[in-house]
Amino acid sequence: MEAHEVLGVPKDAPEEQFRRAYKALARKWHPDRQLDNSEEATAKFVEINKAYKTMARNLRRARRAAEGAASATNTPESSVSGSPPATPESFSSSLPEEPTRLPNPHHLTSSTKLRAPFSFALLPRR
């Protein structure tokens, strides 16, 4: 039996319909809800889960294949068309400038060290 037949949906149904059918069947056949025939419910629940995983995997593969085909047809230049290979200089022009860094306080001299925002002398004595 095929996955869409287990879930009770047509083969060309949208992804949302598969998800709704899976949730309804999983709720119906969950072993915790079927206390009188838990062996049959467990077997049916496992079958429903396998069917949904198979359908989800097939839908994901189809989506990726469609995205890959769309991106392959939308690229104006590709390495097959004879465009020159990218050079490191062409990449460096598109990178943002490196942010300026503050000096490391451990490397400063004693006269230029950063001071604490408060003095320990101002704390009350015990």
Q: How confident is the model at residue 100 (pLDDT cuts 50, 70, 90)?
A: low
Q: Residue 82: left if φ>0, alpha if ψ -120 to 50, beta else—which one? A: left
DSSP reduced 3-state for 126: coil
| Superfamily of chain region 3-73 | DnaJ domain (1.10.287.110)
Please name the amino acid found at residue 54.
T
Q: What is the pLDDT of residues 23-52, one digit of tens each?
A: 999 999 999 998 898 899 999 999 999 999
